Amino acid sequence: MEIFINSDGDIVLKKYSPIFDLKNFADDVCQSITDITESSVFICDLEKVIAVANASKIQYKNKIISSELEEYINQRKVYIGNVKNGSNISKLLYEELNVQYSAEIIVPLIFDGDVMGAIVLFRKEGDLSVTDVDILKVFANFIARQMS
C-alpha cells in the first residue's frame, strides 16, 4: 500500500504493484518475447494488464484481468492450454474481447515467495513448443530479479 498526498492536499491510498513500477521495462520484455515467438504476449499483475505486444494496446493495456486468469496465476505453476489437446483457453480480460486463440501459456511472476502476476502468451494458430515455455520462464525469472 502506498500512501501519499496529492496536489489538493488529499491523502491518497494506492495499492502497490511492483510490476507496475516496471511497466516500461515490461513493454520491452513483451516485445522481445513476441519477436522470438511471433505470438501475442501480455504481462499482468494480479488485477490488470500492464504490458502488451502483438495485440492492441488500447484494447488490453490497463484492463482488468479475468477471474479465470487470476485463478491460474494463483496456482503458482505454469499452465499450457491448447485447443487441439482439448485444453481450456482462459479469458484474458474480465470483459473479454471477441478474440479466438488456439493456444496459451501462463507463467506466474513470483518474487520473494509471493505471486505478483504473470506473463501470458496467446497464439491464434499453430502449436506451442517447449522452447516457448522456456522463453517465458527465463523472462519471468528475469522480471522477478528486476523487482528486487
Q: What is the pLDDT of residue 146?
A: 78
**What CATH architecture applies to the domain 18-146?**
2-Layer Sandwich (3.30)
* pLDDT level of residue 85 (50, 70, 90 thresholds): confident
**147: pLDDT strictly greater than 60:** yes
- What residues does 39 pair with on adjacent strands? none
* pLDDT level of residue 130 (50, 70, 90 thresholds): very high
Q: Where are the domains of the chain?
A: 18-146
Q: What is the pLDDT of residue 86?
A: 83
pLDDT tens digit sequence for 37-77: 999 999 999 889 999 999 988 889 999 999 999 999 999 99
- What residues does 4 pair with on adjacent strands? 12
Rounded CA gap, 116 and 46, in Å?
6
Q: What is the pLDDT of residue 96?
A: 67
How many CB atoms sit inside 10 A of residue 56's CB?
11
Q: What are phi and psi of 101, to 5 degrees?
A: -115, 150
* pLDDT level of residue 120 (50, 70, 90 thresholds): very high
Q: What is the mean pLDDT of residues 3-24?
A: 64
Rounded CA gap, 142 and 93, in Å?
25
Name 16's Cβ contacts closer than 8 Å, sequence gap at least 6.
1, 2
DSSP letter, residue 13: E
Instruction: Please check whether residue 8 is in contact with residue 32, taking contact to mean a CB–CB distance below 8 angstroms.
Output: no
For 101, 103, 121, the CA distances from 89, given in Å and listed in that order, are: 7, 7, 11
